[in-house]
Structure 1
Amino acid sequence: MRFLAPGWLALLAAVAALVVAYVVVQRRRGRYAVRFAALPLLERVLPRGPGWRRHVPAVAFLVTVAGMVLALSRPVVEVQVPRERATVIVAVDVSASMGAEDVAPTRSNAAVAAARTFVDELPDTFNVGLVLFSGSTALTVPPTVDHAAVHAAFDGVTMGSGTAIGDAVLTALDGIRALDDQAATDPPPARIVLLSDGANTTGSPISAAAAAAAAAATPVSTIAFGTPEGTATVGGSTMPVPADIPALAALAADSGGQAYQAETGEELQEVYTDIGSSIGYRAEEREVTSAVLAGALLAALAAAAGSLAWFARLP
């Protein structure tokens, strides 16, 4: 929480002084009573006092004053509000190693299934694009609010050789840039979500792609999935295809995104849900002066009600 007019907070010192004064007065009242009568005599002559109830109106009054001071200071808090628009490019590795079956039924099938669900859960106002890459990259679907077009593109996925992760990021950035040029006055926030299970074997270095994404203020969230023991059959030969987790983590960190690791289809779905949540909301400051004033008013009403009920008078 912060305050738009923090100078008024100095009045809280006066509230603290009232608290001290109240405590001092209560102690003096106790001393005066003892000075003029013996304790056993007081217990027989005086009726039973209100006890803790006599402090309730005073406490409520002090809360009221403190609330009014806070309201004058115009407090603001940070809240999460839904984004009304954004651009998300999903980049999916379709290299031969994605045929490994350590993530059932295969890495590729699990990735596509989770990507479909992810796109379905994004708000209709989001622009969504699709980059498919192996040794070469293609902006298969430019960013569009027609999410059905992305679904249709997944139906025609074919596997290739090589893995050009750096080029995939640069291709996604080109797609985002083209869309931003059409809305140059106020381009929407953008994010790239990249799935891959292998090292960058061709094309631009990952470090160069990360630097370009950071310069464009477009975080890249990476998902490394598969197991270290994963194998794939390519050209009749079986070869190990472990996920290059450090490389993908570096891409995410250097671009300002988040790195995830999913070794099963269930974990992959959880990752997409997490990414969708972070894209779908943004932090926004809101002034809560009216709420603080309402609390102060309730405290004042409590002080009045307590005083009338217990002492038949207003404080």
Structure 2
Amino acid sequence: MTFGFPALLWLLALLPLTGWLLWSAARRRGRRAQAYADPHLLGAVLPAGGGRRRRLPLALQLGALALLLFGAAQPVAQPRLPVNQASVMIALDASRSMLADDVLPTRLEAARTVAREFLALAPTSTRIGFLTFSDNASVLVPPTTDRQEVLAALERVRPAQATSFAGALVSGVRALPERAGAAPPPELLDGPPPAAPQANTPRPDPATLPPGAILLLSDGISNRGANPAVAARFASDHAVKLYAVALGREGGAVTRVGGELVFVPFDTRELTRLTALTGGQFLYPPDAERLRGLYRELGTAIRWQPSDLGLGAPLAGLAALLLVLGGGLALAWHRRVP
């Protein structure tokens, strides 16, 4: 427990003196009543019940004063409470192959539908981000609980050229909480490697990282960039699981792209392998029941963690209750408030 104003706790030392002064005043009132009243009328002058009825209202009000002084120091407890720490990056394939119409109306629109359903069904406490990938990956929305921001970014997606699973995985990992400084292995870098971290900079322990996942929506063909398997191991090393939903039909499709009929392939083997490397899950075909199960698994990751809980207001409420109770007993027994 911590305190905002610990110096105020010293005022609690005055409580014994305050209690003694009030007790002494009550005894003086009793002696004056005995000194000036007729002995035969003492029963009418002094309340029945003796000392117990005198002490109980006083004790309640002293307890209320103690609670108020303790609460004025602004105590903050740190209990371990269940918190949903799930963070998910939706990675949407924006390559031209997603314009194929073997999944109506197109693979891209079907992927948008899956993303919208996940946003609608995931718990409101789940932080969800959004990135698109084609030749390169672009993080459009970092993990947030603002669903409208993600939906707006989802509607702005326009198809580009090729597909790079490696870029999607690296960008997705680094967008998740506490992983922004994650350095990918050299074989995943297109340009010169970043500056080496200082020797005294500790690497995060994957066991201490908050839960993270990537929901990848694609037609399963990576034809640009580094080896996706290396990127999958990079994700696994940083406690990130890959969940993939494949959109398309086996055998591929012939569709019109840019005014020309072209064959657009479809393959699930690579996505199956990548999800297995990270301990995630591959889903095909994406039927409604299996998708709902996937959303439940992705959207909730309960962890017990210390949380700051201010005790000032509850203590003030309890003190008010004791004051009212003590005052009510004093009025009922002594026709006065101590």
Q: The TM-score by the shorter chain falls in which range?
A: 0.5 to 0.7
Q: How far off is 1:248 after superposition?
A: 0.5
Q: How far off is 1:234 after superposition?
A: 2.6
Q: How far off is 1:157 after superposition?
A: 1.0
Normalized per residue, the structure richer in helix is: 1
**AA in 1 matched with 2:110:** A
Q: 1:301 corresponds to which residue?
A: none
Q: Secondary structure of the residue that 2:84 maps to in structure 1?
A: coil
Cα offsets for 1:120-179 (capped at 9, x unmatched): 111111111001111121001111111111001011110101001111011001101556
CA change 1:212–1:127 in 2 (3 A) is same
Q: 1:233 corresponds to which residue?
A: 256
**AA in 2 matched with 1:189:** P
**AA in 2 matched with 1:147:** R
Q: 1:14 corresponds to which residue?
A: none
2:206 is aligned with 1:206? no
TM-score (norm 1): 0.58
Q: How far off is 1:232 after superposition?
A: 3.0
Contact 1:116 1:151 (C-alpha < 8 Å) held by counterparts: yes
Distance 1:115 1:100 in 2: 18
Contact 2:111 2:218 (C-alpha < 8 Å) held by counterparts: no
Q: 1:262 corresponds to which residue?
A: 285
CA change 1:114–1:83 in 2 (3 A) is farther
2:246 is aligned with 1:224? yes
CA change 1:270–1:231 in 2 (3 A) is farther
Q: 2:308 corresponds to which residue?
A: none
**AA in 2 matched with 1:229:** G
Distance 1:226 1:259 in 2: 14
Contact 2:214 2:241 (C-alpha < 8 Å) held by counterparts: yes
Distance 2:172 2:178 in 1: 10
CA change 1:179–1:206 in 2 (3 A) is closer
CA change 1:276–1:161 in 2 (3 A) is same
CA change 1:257–1:133 in 2 (3 A) is same
Q: What RMSD, in angstroms, separates the aligned Cα atoms of the two structures?
A: 2.5
2:178 is aligned with 1:159? no
Contact 1:85 1:126 (C-alpha < 8 Å) held by counterparts: yes
CA change 1:277–1:169 in 2 (3 A) is same
Q: How far off is 1:94 after superposition?
A: 1.1
Q: 1:251 corresponds to which residue?
A: 274
TM-score (norm 2): 0.54
Q: How far off is 1:243 after superposition?
A: 1.9
Q: How far off is 1:237 after superposition?
A: 2.3
Q: 2:136 corresponds to which residue?
A: 136
Runs (4 or more) in structure 1 with deviation over 2 Å come to 177-181, 184-188, 231-237, 269-272, 279-284
Contact 1:163 1:198 (C-alpha < 8 Å) held by counterparts: no
Gaps of at least 5 residues in structure 2 are 1-81, 182-203, 304-338
Contact 1:132 1:139 (C-alpha < 8 Å) held by counterparts: yes
Q: How far off is 1:262 after superposition?
A: 2.5
2:300 is aligned with 1:276? no
Q: Secondary structure of the residue that 1:148 maps to in structure 2?
A: helix
Q: How far off is 1:277 after superposition?
A: 1.4
Q: How far off is 1:240 after superposition?
A: 2.0
CA change 1:137–1:232 in 2 (3 A) is farther
Distance 1:124 1:104 in 2: 30
Q: How far off is 1:239 after superposition?
A: 2.0
Distance 1:271 1:166 in 2: 26
Q: Secondary structure of the residue that 1:262 maps to in structure 2?
A: coil
**AA in 2 matched with 1:145:** T
Distance 1:138 1:270 in 2: 31
Contact 1:191 1:220 (C-alpha < 8 Å) held by counterparts: yes
Q: How far off is 1:283 after superposition?
A: 8.5
> Greater Rg, structure 1 or structure 2?
2
Contact 1:180 1:188 (C-alpha < 8 Å) held by counterparts: no
Q: 2:176 corresponds to which residue?
A: 176
Q: How far off is 1:199 after superposition?
A: 1.6
**AA in 2 matched with 1:212:** F
